[in-house]
Each structure stands twice: as C-alpha cells, then as structure tokens.
Amino acid sequence: MQLQEEPGIGDRIARLRMRRKLTQEGLAERARLSVDIVRKLEQGVRQTARLATINALARALDVEPSTLLGQPATFEVRGEAEPPSVLALRQAVSPVSDLFDLDGEEPEAEDPPTIARLRASLRSTERIRREGRIGEIGSLLPQLIEDAKAAARYHSGADAAAAHSVLAEAYQVAATTLTALGKEDAAFTALERSMAAARKGDDPHLESVGCSSLAWVLTKQGRLTDAERVALSAAERVEPGFRSPPLELALWGILLLRAATAAVRLERRDTVRDLLSMATAAAARIGTDRLDYATPFGPANAGVAEVNFLVELGDTAEALRAARTVTGLASLPPTWRARFHVDLALAHADLGRDDGALQALLAAERAAPEWLRYHSTSRRLVTDLRNRERRRTSPVLELAERLNIEE
C-alpha cells in the first residue's frame, strides 16, 4: 500500500498561490524570496528547498509548512493483524468522554497494570520511537495512554503520581508521532494533556521535557518565534550552575538546540551561533552522550546539530567539513543517525554531487528504514534524484520504489 501523499510541492504552491490571487512575483515579494525559486518549484525543476524557504512560503500563503511538504498523512500498512490507526491515536489523545459525562460507558473490566508494567511499556515504546518504527508506535500508543489514564484513576498517593508521569511521557510520544504525520494540531492537544499530567506527576523535569516537545511541534507548525520563546523560557528555568548534575545540563542543552532550530528557520545566524556555542559547551562539560527522556544529548548530538544548522543555512561545503569532525555517531539512536545522513545527502545534492547524496540516503535507510519512508525531506530529495536519473534501472530508482514514491 502506498503512503497517502499529495502531488508535488510545486503543485501545492501553485494551487495555493492562485487561490490567494497572487502572481509568482507577488508570492516571491511577500515571502521575501527570489521569483526564480518560486518558478523552479512550481515548474517541478526543484522538488526540494531549504526549510527556511518552506517556512517563508508557508507564512506568505498562510498555511502550515506540512501543507507544502506533503508529508505522509497516515500510517503505512504492512500486514499487521491490527494495523496502526491515526484515528485510534486521536481518540486516545482527545476522547469525547473527556468533554461529556456520557451514559452507557462500559466500566473498566479489570484492574489497570501496575506502575512497574506501565513504566516497562513506556520504555519499550520510547525505544521503538528512537528506532523510527512509526507503525508499531501507532499500534501501541493508544493502549498505553488508556492504561496510564486508568492507573491514574485507580491509584492514589505516590502510585497515582507515578501513573501521571507515565501518562505525561506517553502523550509526548503521541505528540511527536502525530507531528511526523503532519497532524500538528492534534500534537498540540497531546502536549496540552502532557503538561496537565506532568503537573500531577512525580517527576519535576517532565515540564521541561514537554516544553522541548512543544517547541518542536511549534516549529513544525511554522510558529517559529513562539517555538524559540518556549524553548528559551524553559531553558532559563533549568539553567544549570557549576555543580549541576549532568541531567540538568542535558535538558538545558536540548532546549537550547530546540530554540536554535527555530532561529535557523528564521535565518538568524548570530542567534543560532550563540545558542549552539552554549549547547556545545554544555555537551563538552557532560563529556559523553546521554539519553534522557528518549532524547540524546552530548558532544556527538551537538556536532550533528551543527551540521544540520549549516545545511539549513545553505553553508553546505562547511557542513560537510563539520560532519567529518563528528565522533561518537554510533552512540546516537538510529533516527538521529539517519537524520545526520540525510543532512549529508542534502549538502551533496546542493553541490551537485548526486552520487554522494544517494550514498548518504542509503546510509540513512540502513540506520532507520521505516523512519525514512515517513520523512518528507528525504522523500523530496529522492524524487529529485530519481527525476534526474536517465537509466532504466539504478540504485536511486530502487530506493524510490522502497520508499513507495510514485512516478
């Protein structure tokens, strides 16, 4: 089954532009871009663009960036007995019963799982997320959320607080999953639920983690100033001192990188440089990459972030040089490694090195094959490479087929 995906980015831009009664010149002026970029995208000469460009066009057309990117909007069906469902995940995040006291609801048939079992389920789900197995997340998450809610209702005292902490993290996983499917509004709702659960939980760090996830969702919505503000405000509350434990340094660094991601797409180079410098210093102080709340932070992740920022700012040759200095890549989760290779692919493609781009994409596929099928930037780049391929059979055509990219 093919992933549900709309026509190319150029078709979407042209359709929205005409709907808003704008000429190509008018859209370019409103987005503060050259008209040549708009023309090449609409004509299909280019299938990819820097995310700063996508955000500028989205603001000018008054849509979310995902509307232009055309990322997969549902789970891939791969023959599971119970296929994952976006609807089931939406219902778990925002059930009607939370708004109304409905008659006829079935009572809970059995006691909820123990706190230990809940935590084990959460750790398993987070591991699956890090590996990019999005379909499995979609199958598991609705039940985890329901179990955590039931446990929070059933227990009291410390066990109820522990159940609320699990629920807060489960909602955060739901938010990132929904964001990957272009459902940013549903993801925002999941994060609201996460924050409310965190306040009833027993982990004082969960609100900071929630702010990190919220900044990411806001970035994907194109609300870049809001994303930067949320991340920086949370970082100020966490800001570690000389004797702070590594966990606090890591959370602070993660929030700085979230703020920098928004600043990159606003093309605020000085801000990006300052935030990256502080995050890199925090990573150096920790000395090794950690994994807290399913998110890595340390020297390798800071190096990967620098490469990503350089690529998004268009400094592709410098990005490739910086990539050669990144060490400890194997310590990062598969999806982080895959994203690093996608950045290398983008840099090679920008320099006209299609073979280098392909090899980097194949490395990303080896790291996180299912994640790649959902990653809109990778899909657009593969489409570009395929469209330039003149042979009837080649590795890039085979990759496009594996990613279910239609002709």
* pLDDT tens sequence across 93-102: 999 877 765 5
Phi-psi domain of 309 (left: phi exceeds 0; alpha: psi -120 through 50; beta: other): alpha
* pLDDT tens sequence across 144-190: 999 999 999 999 999 999 999 999 999 999 999 998 888 889 999 99
- From residue 373, give the alpha-carbon distance in Å to each of 294, 380, 383, 402: 21, 11, 12, 8
- From residue 224, give the alpha-carbon distance in Å to each of 24, 208, 221, 262, 322: 24, 18, 8, 5, 26
Averaged pLDDT for residues 329-351: 96
Helix (H) or strand (E) holding 296: strand 295-297
Averaged pLDDT for residues 288-307: 96
Question: Does 243 score more than 70 pLDDT?
Answer: yes
Query: Helices marked H in 155-298 — which ranges?
Result: 157-180, 184-199, 206-221, 224-238, 246-265, 269-286
Question: Does 66 score more than 80 pLDDT?
Answer: no
Most confident of 15-29, 238-252, 317-331: 317-331
Question: Does 79 score more than 80 pLDDT?
Answer: no
Look at 290 and 69; give whichever has higher pLDDT.
290
Domains of the chain in sequence order: 1-70 (1.10.260.40), 73-98+110-203 (no CATH), 333-407 (no CATH)
Contact 52, 264 (CB under 8 A): yes
pLDDT the model gives residue 298: 97
Structure tokens at 376: 């809109």
pLDDT the model gives residue 52: 81
pLDDT confidence of 109, banded at 50, 70, 90?
very low
Q: pTM for this structure? A: 0.86
Averaged pLDDT for residues 22-50: 87
Averaged pLDDT for residues 242-263: 94
Instruction: Report the chain's mean pLDDT, rounded to a whole number.
Output: 90
Distance of CA 362 to the CA centre of its chain: 20
Averaged pLDDT for residues 291-299: 94
pLDDT confidence of 1, banded at 50, 70, 90?
very low
pLDDT confidence of 398, banded at 50, 70, 90?
very high
Lowest mean pLDDT among 87-101, 191-205, 302-316, 384-398: 87-101
Three-state SS for 59? Answer: helix
Lowest mean pLDDT among 79-83, 301-305, 357-361: 79-83
Q: Which of 347, 344, 345 is nearest to 399 (CA)?
A: 345
pLDDT the model gives residue 6: 47
